[in-house]
Chains A and B, each alone.
Chain A
Amino acid sequence: MGYEIIIGLEVHVQLKTKSKMFCGCLTGFGARQNTQVCPVCLGLPGVLPVINKQSFEYALKAALALNCQIADFTKFDRKHYYYPDLPKNYQISQYDIPFSHDGYLDIKVDGKTKRVGITRVHLEEDAGKLIHPEEKESQYSLVDLNRTGMPLMEIVSEPDMNSPEEAHAYLTSLKEIMRYLGVSDCDMEKGTLRCDANLSLRPKGKKELGVKSEIKNLNSFKFVSKALAYEAKRQAELLEKGERIIQETRLWDEAKEVTRSMRSKEGAHDYRYFPEPDLEPIRIDEKWLADIRKTMPELPEARRSRLITQYGISNYEANVLTQEKIIIDYTEQALLKAKEQNVTLASVTNLTLGPVFKIINKQKIEFSEFTRKVPPENLVSLANELDKKTIVSTMSGVVLDEMFTSGKTARNIIKEKGLEQVSDKNALEPIIEEVIKNNQKIVADYKGGKKSAIMALVGQVMRASQGKANPQKVKELLTKHLG
């Protein structure tokens, strides 16, 4: 029997605010344990929360980007459970009136667009972390409350995804949007994006949903895909055998690449929600929303379509360049300059996709560091040199490396290092003769009819000229010599 996979995702996104949600503590990552705390986030007797406006506005931005309806009235509620990483033993969250609901996110899988519904987005405070000592027999755990009270946004999707690939695309797109908005880094490794998944199977053609399992401990996008694929297979095998699926929470075991039952000891939890009496309800009016909309950037999907029509770049290029807002912001500034100066746009995009990315990856630096050292206008001037064929295109990496390290312009580097393309016959002839003399075997191949062998000789000439020789000219001269 064929089954349809039904997936819903519950994503927690930590907002990148300067201070925590209800106190003034800083939010930086990697600080020493229990140093980013104060009486409020420690939940000491007598303290009161005061909402950080920035956290609420970040959340509003995110919900608007996810096409959500925004409530005109919202409030916070207390969710009760006992755990040592939650010092008040309740979490300030939102229960029956989340600040936003009923949105959607369009994702692309295999070139096709699919709309995934967003049930609700709400805001809550994060809990701390328990640190379990290495020794197996240890009788204690340690608590780190640096994360306690960080603003956390919960995004619950409708069960609209039908494959692990769609789930992956949803997460990728979500992350991309949050990063565009600048509201979160969505870094799963640092825990600023966390994901739980619900998966059930439904016999093809049937309407009612099957029993779902909830999968936790998904620590990367890759694991989400793997765990969902595994879980779909596991459930299908059970159903094939005529067995029943139990509604349960399962943990992804990344070592064994299986999901296993969490042995639900929690049972049905009664969180005893009730309205947080220490915080006033919040009214959201049109003016506030309008002000927030004004601060929102163009979102990735819209930007891609525009780039393709405005600059004639390919679909592939648009996809790669728009993965991070800072990259496309930079590239677009360069493209605009290039247009002004009649520099070929392709020269600019080729530079970004090639040598620029190479530097970022090789040096392991943030893109912002690159933009500081090589502003867009400098990149355009390098593209211009390529257009004018002042240098061989393969030399662009060498020049850019130098631009990045020294901050000098392309022009100066080319001049100082004498990197101009050599097309002068008189300069090239001696090198060509030398290469022919030293590569008699290849010459013989060529003469024997293997015409492609000439490229090997071109390569040799290029190398001998330290990459500066004009390859077209070299080929032309070689052909003449060997002809």
Chain B
Amino acid sequence: MDLYKKTASEIKELVLKKEIKSVEVTEDLFKRIDEVEPKIKAYLTLNKESALAQAKKIDEKIARNEKTGQLAGIPIALKDNLCTEGIKTTCASKILNNFIPPYDASVVKRIKEEDGIIIGKTNLDEFAMGSSTENSAFGPSRNPWDPARVPGGSSGGSAAAIAADLAFLALGSDTGGSIRQPAALSGIVGLKPTYGRVSRYGLVAYASSLDQIGPMTKDVRDAALFLNVLAGQDPADSTSVPLETPDHLEKISRGVKGLKIGVPKEFFVAGLDKEVKESIDQGLKVYEKLGAEISQISLPHTEHGIATYYLIAPSEASSNLARYDGIHYGHQTKSSKGLIDMYSQSRSEGFGDEVKRRIMLGTFSLSSGYYDAYYLRALKVRQLIKQDFDEAFKKVDVIMGPTSPIPAFKFGEKAANPLQMYLCDVFTVTTNLAGLPGISIPCGFTKSSLPIGLQILGRPFDETTLLQTAYAFEQKTEFHKTKPRI
């Protein structure tokens, strides 16, 4: 029946109209997964039995004409750094290889309350540290557009799952671009909400002041549908903001007439791939035709984004990851002499290279004698970056540019040089540092058929405008409908 090709919104409609059953959808999807997953490796854990059981329950609910949730009958994939009660949550790390959380993340709870169906946990760079999934302890995921290339990261498994029609909705987490960059590289929609919009409770922390959970979807409408469920204050997360959640679907087709779009000149610099640049220029033209006003702006501190990010994120990570010591849960070394040795052996064996690199970086920058020069300084630059955006948003409604400077790269191409890899985040990290919402949408392909992502950034808590802007583009283009041949 090829139901798997449909969007989440289409599936929901069909299920609610009783034209198909959620069980059929789920079965069809698992059939697709059986065929394609071996080539893509998007998932770390599949949850087939309980997914089917859940689908059956929802079908029964619908048959009884009971009120159903906003995600009724939709199969959903979760990045494996989101805690799921009774389902392994590994963060793609050996240190949590067999960790089964006794609780659900708040977003998982919401999905369940809204009758969504959890089908599995997707691959990621270990503890969400990376831009390619090559840092997964369980092997990388593959880009559905070219299996020799990375799907991006760290939410690469979720991106690949959506791109390859292995899920209808997926959750990712974005600390420095980890939703938007893989969305761009895999040709899907990825939305990073404003910091504080979505509860982080149950998201295994990488960098607490930057982490944010968000939807990864086949189109913009699905992203709006999913965000409606995810957003909202959570008493379990003190940093979640007590704001009313608007209905992001309601005014999604309002259009962009008169919308002021700012294009930061700092996003068009050396290192930006020529084909990516052309696609973005084409995309801006589409907006112009739709009646938006485009102007150049400046975000002068953009160049310090990477340096600032790679002090703040590792500092917080060094603290957040201190708990993985093999004492209470997770990997414990088999051979150790005494307590200190047990800590160091368990952690040496359990963590991968990139995680160790960032823990060391963070430990160093928080050490007495270095704190002021590194961590504190980074906090100050973070303020400057924030001010750049504050200034810009006095003049424009949204900011546009490339999500990633390059399209999907080959395995191993950047893995040997961490700094090269870090530069993948050059256009995305500042959004996290400023706490703003951002979305990446498909806006073209390279000559070799690799997807290109357009990034749109908005004012704090103005995901509505972001989604309207993205939706207007999608209505005029076909990029999101183009599917990879697997």
Report which A residues bind B (CB closer than 8 A).
Answer: 39, 42-51, 78, 80, 82, 84, 87-90, 143, 270, 272-274, 277-280
Contacts and interface: CB of A to CB of B under 8 A. Distances in A.
A50 B89 contact: no
A47 B102 CA distance: 11
Contact of B103 (A39, A272, A280): A39
Nearest to B364: A272
B102 A44 contact: yes
A127 to B, nearest CB: 13
A90 B319 contact: yes
A349 B205 CA distance: 61
B283 to A, nearest CB: 35
B452 interface: no
19 contacts: A39-B103, A43-B328, A45-B205, A45-B324, A46-B89, A46-B201, A48-B238, A48-B239, A49-B238, A51-B238, A78-B319, A84-B327, A88-B322, A89-B323, A270-B367, A272-B367, A274-B315, A278-B208, A280-B239
A45 B204 contact: yes
Q: How would you classify the secondary structure of chain A's contact residues: helix, strand, loop or mixed? A: loop
B428 to A, nearest CB: 19
A48 B201 contact: yes
A297 B366 CA distance: 43
B325 A89 contact: yes
Contacts of B91: 45
B368 A45 contact: no
Contacts of A50: 235-238
A31 B219 CA distance: 53
B126 interface: no
Contacts of A42: 328
Interface string B85-122: 00001010000100101110100000000000000000
A279 B343 contact: no
A44 B339 contact: no
Contacts of A90: 319, 322
Given A42-B328, A45-B323, A272 B201 contact: no
Contact of B325 (A45, A47, A51, A82): A82
A453 to B, nearest CB: 76
B404 interface: no
B323 A274 contact: no
B111 to A, nearest CB: 15
B101 A46 contact: yes
B157 interface: no
Contact of B238 (A80, A274, A280): A280
B366 A274 contact: yes
In this complex, which of A51, A87, A270, A277 has the most chain B Cβ atoms within 10 angstroms of its Cβ?
Answer: A277
Interface in B224-241: 235-239
Contacts of B316: 274, 277
Contacts of A44: 83, 101-103, 329
Given A50-B235, A50-B236, A84-B327, A274 B319 contact: yes
A50 to B, nearest CB: 5
A118 to B, nearest CB: 26
Contacts of B82: 46
Q: How would you classify the secondary structure of chain B's contact residues: helix, strand, loop or mixed? A: loop
Given A274-B315, A280-B238, A46 B203 contact: yes
A277 B320 CA distance: 10
Contacts of A274: 315-316, 319, 366, 371, 375
Interface string B341-361: 001000000000000000000
B343 A82 contact: yes
B40 to A, nearest CB: 26
Contact of A46 (B204, B315, B363): B204
B70 interface: no
Nearest to B315: A274
Interface string B404-416: 0000000000000
Given A89-B322, A274-B375, A45 B238 contact: no
B238 A278 contact: yes
A44 B205 CA distance: 11
A46 B320 CA distance: 9
B84 to A, nearest CB: 10
A280 B205 CA distance: 17
Which A-B residue pairs are the 10 nearest by beta carbons? A89-B322, A277-B208, A277-B209, A272-B366, A45-B204, A46-B83, A46-B202, A46-B204, A88-B323, A84-B327
A43 B319 CA distance: 12
A454 to B, nearest CB: 77
B200 interface: yes
A46 B205 contact: yes
In this complex, which of A45, A50, A51, A272 has the most chain B Cβ atoms within 10 angstroms of its Cβ?
Answer: A45
A43 B329 CA distance: 10
Interface in B154-213: 200-205, 207-209
A87 B323 contact: yes
Contact of A87 (B89, B235, B328, B366): B328
A48 B238 CA distance: 8
Contact of B322 (A39, A51, A82): A82
Contacts of B89: 45-46
Contacts of B200: 48
A45 B327 CA distance: 14
Contacts of B99: 45
B95 to A, nearest CB: 10
Interface in B368-383: 368, 371, 375
Nearest to B83: A46
A88 B211 CA distance: 19
Nearest to A88: B323
Contacts of A46: 81-83, 89, 101, 105, 201-205
Contacts of A270: 367-368
In this complex, which of B208, B235, B237, B319 has the most chain A Cβ atoms within 10 angstroms of its Cβ?
Answer: B319
In this complex, which of A44, A48, A50, A82 has the most chain B Cβ atoms within 10 angstroms of its Cβ?
Answer: A48
Contact of A48 (B236, B323, B343): B236
A434 B102 CA distance: 83
A278 B323 contact: no
Contacts of A45: 83, 89, 91, 96, 99, 101, 204-205, 323-324
Given A45-B324, A82-B340, 11 more contacts: A39-B103, A44-B101, A44-B102, A44-B329, A46-B101, A46-B203, A46-B204, A270-B367, A270-B368, A277-B207, A278-B208
A49 B367 CA distance: 24
B396 to A, nearest CB: 29
